[in-house]
Structure 1
């Protein structure tokens, strides 16, 4: 028996069990054969589409929009079903406890009490919330661009840079895009901020340079008065797909780096640039990707070579784990670090001033937004694009505008 057959059989058994269990909720609240047929048809259709896509897609093409849609639809129908299972399972435990008490106290041998209709209604009502949210996230949420503005004060900021503005974008992931008009709208919104400089903090593609071919004429319209600068992200190295030969990967990596020049960005590869105003200057540093546990290409010391310790420094580093494990405690003192990478997992709940939650927080200590420690800041941009899941639920695509102020 092939090794892969046993896990497949187990998966199919789990799927059948989940479908039978969740079907009970529909069966309890409705006698309509049409409703039951619709539920079963939709579930089977999603499973067929998912397995056909996963089993036939060419890993050499990376994550295509079709693959992402298959993943998105699977999540859209699976998570609501988990909620239904939790509610019904809770009711089942309650029913068995009542049955056991009745049997012990009075010798009752009646069959187990049937499911209560209102419990099934509650289960379906709760499941409808993530279902509707995921549908919205796939259709509209991934284009629900938000401009987040911060004003940061530093005692040692040169006077000439008081009021200096930065627009940060991150994680374009052009290989996921399908709607050019929506992306143009996002680019126009970026330009409306009219910041002094624009900084892009990595992941311009999912895997391959040619993913950007249809979008260069959109992103080359980005504007900033004092220049545009960028770094690489973990996806830009081509590490997440199978290459026919090593040279193809090398060539692709060079082509990815060339994209930045085509859209007018100065790509910093463990390098720095000085920004000057009225005879004063600040240092802008761009490190290659460094992530905890994988792809530690970046060299912070090489990036800082030629920069003075007393200089005011802005560091671009794609993965926020770099700040947590290396940057924030470095005596060289990097005043402001700009990162991306996490996307906030593209799903979560954010109510400004009240609640900020995403499963991403269990992986990254700094996962979205602005953080401060010992007078040093990091902003983790939630990303402009999307990846893996073809949408956003509660964690919207972000354009960050930061104003530097003299303390």
Structure 2
């Protein structure tokens, strides 16, 4: 980990150095130039100080989370502006070399070309866009909740469930919250959807179960006619914390399970439940976390399906969408709808409905946000309720998904 921070610090300083070239080209006041350098150094020093005292068992404090956000903002400012200045330096160098070759022996064209103010202006303007966006994401974006509504049609949906409404939330990450009023507002917003059932698809905490203790009362207010159901995400197992013994780690997981029960959540651990209406039923299936790559693989889809029939209409809760791609789509049993989260949409991207949907996380996950359909089966990848790491969101806002199931009618 220390090597990673050293590398990050080097990248930060290189970006800050080249970004400073743009600043000093436009600003000649030495006091302002000194202030620019001092701010960058203070930001770097602060993040180093925060991580020096970091204890994984306690998770990230609010001060540390804020420090990470500010560091990322200034790193981006330096990196973007510095990249423009570096490109200018390359062009200046080759231009100078070319002039020396052309004017060889003439004694002209020997002076290295000066920086152009216009390029410095472009560098700082371009850098200010992500810089301001990251600061906005910390101030406003992380609690900018959006309700996204979907209507999905199925040929074999039981008639009694035509119009059945599911509200999905995911990735609460309670250890990151710093505004109780905003979180209560979001919980009330979930209840205002008046859906038939509420499904939570994992990652209740960042590292340890105790992060949820201050929020138990808030999330206990979640209510739906058919109940509130949940599954575990990769962060819920305590794998990212340091434990004195394996027994301590196991006790932490049991504490989180107990908290969910006390809040009225029905936690599905590779098992299923039936939701019934007017004598008809659909199967709600929940698996523990299963993620491709290095993520925990505790999920057992076959065991979770063992309590239902092959021809039942099935809704699967599985935290990581890579599970859908790896095991669910081609499973012998048709799973009509899978609900996942995990990606957070990387908490950064650009979404304009009908025009563009992009985030860097798309290069890691094929299914990373919203509704997808493969082989007659659907998945919704929720963008997440909370946040982790960077204490904000830019362009990819916290999401409450409302999915209405419809019986597909034959067309004449």
Shorter-chain TM range is over 0.9
Partner in structure 2 of residue 27 of structure 1: 24
Q: SS where residue 57 of structure 2 aligns?
A: helix
Q: Report if the CA contact (8 A) 1:62-1:240 is conserved.
A: no
Partner in structure 2 of residue 377 of structure 1: 378
CA separation of 1:8 and 1:297: change in aligned 2, threshold 3 A: closer
Q: SS where residue 296 of structure 2 aligns?
A: strand
Q: What does 1:142-221 correspond to in 2, within 5 Å?
A: 142-221=142-221
Q: What do residues 308-366 of structure 1 show as CA deviations (whole Å, max 9, x unaligned)? A: 11100000000000000000111200000000011011111111111111111111110
Partner in structure 1 of residue 267 of structure 2: 267
Query: How much does 1:244 deviate?
Result: 1.3
Return the alpha-carbon distance in structure 1 between the equivalents of residues 185 and 33 of structure 2.
Answer: 41
Q: SS where residue 151 of structure 2 aligns?
A: strand
Aligned residues: 404
Return the alpha-carbon distance in structure 1 between the equivalents of residues 288 and 206 of structure 2.
Answer: 17
Q: What do residues 77-98 of structure 1 show as CA deviations (whole Å, max 9, x unaligned)? A: 1112111122111111221222
Q: SS where residue 400 of structure 2 aligns?
A: strand
Which has the larger displacement, 26-35 or 379-388?
Answer: 26-35
Partner in structure 2 of residue 365 of structure 1: 366
Q: What do residues 121-165 of structure 1 show as CA deviations (whole Å, max 9, x unaligned)? A: 000000000011000001110000000000000000000000000
Q: SS where residue 397 of structure 2 aligns?
A: coil
Which residue of 31, 35, 43 maps to 1:46? 43
Return the alpha-carbon distance in structure 2 between the equivalents of residues 195 and 315 of structure 1.
Answer: 17
CA separation of 1:142 and 1:97: change in aligned 2, threshold 3 A: same
CA separation of 1:93 and 1:296: change in aligned 2, threshold 3 A: same
Q: What do residues 22-43 of structure 1 show as CA deviations (whole Å, max 9, x unaligned)? A: 1111100111234313312221
Q: SS where residue 383 of structure 1 aligns?
A: coil
Return the alpha-carbon distance in structure 1 between the equivalents of residues 268 and 100 of structure 2.
Answer: 74
Gap regions ≥5 residues in structure 2: none
Residue 225 in structure 1 maps to residue 222 in structure 2: no
Q: What does 1:326-341 correspond to in 2, within 5 Å?
A: 326-341=327-342
Which has the larger displacement, 94-103 or 383-392?
Answer: 94-103
Q: What does 1:219-368 correspond to in 2, within 5 Å?
A: 219-293=219-293, 294-368=295-369
CA separation of 1:11 and 1:231: change in aligned 2, threshold 3 A: closer
Q: Give the superposed CA RMSD.
A: 1.6
Return the alpha-carbon distance in structure 2 between the equivalents of residues 13 and 148 of structure 1.
Answer: 41
Gap regions ≥5 residues in structure 1: none
Return the alpha-carbon distance in structure 2 between the equivalents of residues 178 and 13 of structure 1.
Answer: 31
Partner in structure 1 of residue 76 of structure 2: 79
Query: How much does 1:67 deviate?
Result: 2.8
Q: SS where residue 391 of structure 2 aligns?
A: coil
Partner in structure 2 of residue 118 of structure 1: 118
Query: How much does 1:18 deviate?
Result: 3.1
Q: Report if the CA contact (8 A) 2:271-2:307 is conserved.
A: no
Query: How much does 1:58 deviate?
Result: 1.5
Query: How much does 1:7 deviate?
Result: 8.0
Q: What do residues 200-234 of structure 1 show as CA deviations (whole Å, max 9, x unaligned)? A: 00011111111111111111111112211111111
Q: Report if the CA contact (8 A) 1:337-1:377 is conserved.
A: yes
CA separation of 1:8 and 1:258: change in aligned 2, threshold 3 A: closer
Query: How much does 1:12 deviate?
Result: 5.7
CA separation of 1:85 and 1:219: change in aligned 2, threshold 3 A: same
CA separation of 1:143 and 1:88: change in aligned 2, threshold 3 A: same
Partner in structure 2 of residue 69 of structure 1: 66
Return the alpha-carbon distance in structure 2 between the equivalents of residues 368 and 48 of structure 1.
Answer: 36
Q: Report if the CA contact (8 A) 2:282-2:312 is conserved.
A: yes
- The TM-score, its normalising length taken from structure 1, stands at 0.96
Q: Report if the CA contact (8 A) 1:350-1:394 is conserved.
A: yes
